[in-house]
Each structure stands twice: as structure tokens, then as C-alpha cells.
């Protein structure tokens, strides 16, 4: 069926752009195909010409977020490189509402978010060739530990921020957590 002259043209890029705005403004729970279609002025079925399903759209959104991360250049010092890249990724996830939850979801399903692991693994790789006297972890294990710490901390931070905005955070934690960089340093020590 030909598109009528009053039907707006949409593209995969416009779907992702619109989904990112919805994610930032309303959160992951309100990011639906119906809402994206409504924002674009089309029927939800029109979206499926460009994206196979909602999980694919979520993966595309996650990938766009991660593609925008300005990854620090590698220095060859694996601890410093893993630290700087993980901190950059952490800041990127915290800059968009529910980005950590979105990233956790697409990583768990294997549908996207691969750049997150790739950036950390690339930084951790020199640990494999560290001298035998040095205590260097296996790069894949270090990568997964950093990813778990990164995603977990970002999710908790974003949930606390949301609770504060809603006025439902009634008490401070019993003992405040050290900042993310301190926990990352412990992992890398």
C-alpha cells in the first residue's frame, strides 16, 4: 500500500531518536511501540517495517547510547585504562534516565550493548601479557566483573534518583556507600 501524502515518513533513525526522547522524559516503563508510534504520528504497525520487535528497538536505543560514549584513549596500562573507560561508561549510563536498566536488559538478552563489554575488554586485554610476578586477572573475567559493578551501581543510582524525584526516598542508607570510583579501584587493586 502506498503511503498517503499526510502520513509522515519514518526511518529507523527517527524511531531511535523518538525512543530516546521517550526514555529520557518518561523512563523505560513508558517506552512502548504504541507511544513511539504516537509521537511519530503513525500507527504502531508502521514501525514494524523498520524494526522487527520492541526488543530490537531497545537494543538499537542502547547501541545509540553506547556509540555516543567518548571512550578515553588507551595508554597501555590496563588498570588505568579499565578505570577510565569504566568511569566514562558509568557517566554515560547515568546521563540518560533508565539507561542502566535498558543496558542490563539488552546485555542479558544478547540483543545489543556489546560496545560496553568491548570497550572494557579492549582496556583489560594487556593484563593477559602482564609479567608472571604481577597480579593480573584474566581479561574476560575482569571485563565481566567491571560490567557487573558498572551496571549494578548505575541501576541503584538511577533508582535512588528516581525515588528522590518522586519524594518516596524516606531515609538515607544506614551507611553511605563509597563513590563508584572507590569501588572500582577496589576491583582493580
pLDDT tens across 111-152, in order? 999 999 999 999 999 888 876 556 778 899 999 999 999 999
Q: Is the pLDDT of residue 57 over 80?
A: yes
Q: What is the CA radius of gyration of the chain?
A: 20
Which pLDDT belongs to residue 166? 82
Pick from 127, 148, 151: which is nearest to 138 by CA? Answer: 127
Which pLDDT belongs to residue 161? 83
What residues have CB less than 8 Å from 109, skipping those under 6 apart? 55, 59
Domain ranges (residues) in the chain: 12-51, 69-188
H/E stretch holding 177 reads none
Exposure of 12 in the CB half-sphere (CA atoms within 13 A)? 13
Which pLDDT belongs to residue 127? 84
Pairwise CA distance, residues 188 & 145, whole Å: 10
pLDDT, average across residues 37-48: 94
Pairwise CA distance, residues 90 & 88, whole Å: 5
Q: Model pTM? A: 0.86
Tell me the pLDDT tens digit for each residue of 78-121. Answer: 999 999 999 999 999 999 999 999 999 999 999 999 999 999 99
Residue 18 CA, chain-centre distance (Å), reads 17
Which pLDDT belongs to residue 170? 62
Share of residues in the chain with pLDDT > 90 (%): 74
Pick from 150, 153, 155: which is nearest to 120 by CA? Answer: 150
pLDDT, average across residues 55-61: 97
Q: Is the pLDDT of residue 5 over 90?
A: no
Q: Is the pLDDT of residue 164 over 50?
A: yes
Cβ atoms of 53 and 107 closer than 8 Å: no
Burial annotation 128-166 (CB, 10 A radius, 16+ → b, else e): eeeeeeeebbebeebbebbbebbbebbbebbeeeeeeee
- pLDDT interval class at 47 (50, 70, 90): very high
What's 12-51's CATH class?
mainly alpha
Which pLDDT belongs to residue 1? 44
Share of residues in the chain with pLDDT > 70 (%): 88
pLDDT, average across residues 12-41: 95
Amino acid at each position: 500500500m502506498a503511503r498517503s501524502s499526510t502520513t509522515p515518513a519514518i526511518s529507523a533513525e527517527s524511531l531511535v531518536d523518538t525512543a530516546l526522547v521517550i526514555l529520557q522524559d518518561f523512563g523505560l516503563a513508558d517506552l512502548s511501540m504504541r507511544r513511539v508510534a504516537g509521537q511519530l504520528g503513525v500507527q504502531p504497525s508502521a514501525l514494524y517495517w523498520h524494526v522487527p520487535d520492541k526488543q530490537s528497538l531497545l537494543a538499537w536505543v542502547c547501541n545509540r547510547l553506547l556509540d555516543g560514549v567518548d571512550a578515553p584513549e588507551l595508554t597501555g596500562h590496563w588498570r588505568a585504562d579499565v578505570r577510565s573507560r569504566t568511569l566514562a561508561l558509568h557517566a554515560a549510563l547515568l546521563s540518560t534516565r533508565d539507561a542502566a536498566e535498558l543496558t542490563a536488559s539488552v546485555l542479558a538478552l544478547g540483543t545489543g550493548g556489546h560496545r560496553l563489554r568491548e570497550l572494557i575488554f579492549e582496556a583489560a586485554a594487556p593484563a593477559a601479557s602482564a609479567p608472571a610476578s604481577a597480579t593480573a586477572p584474566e581479561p574476560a573475567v575482569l571485563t565481566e566483573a567491571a560490567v557487573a559493578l558498572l551496571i549494578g551501581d548505575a541501576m541503584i543510582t538511577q533508582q535512588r534518583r528516581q525515588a528522590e524525584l518522586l519524594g518516596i526516598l524516606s531515609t538515607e542508607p544506614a551507611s553511605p556507600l563509597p563513590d563508584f570510583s572507590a569501588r572500582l579501584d577496589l576491583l582493580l587493586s
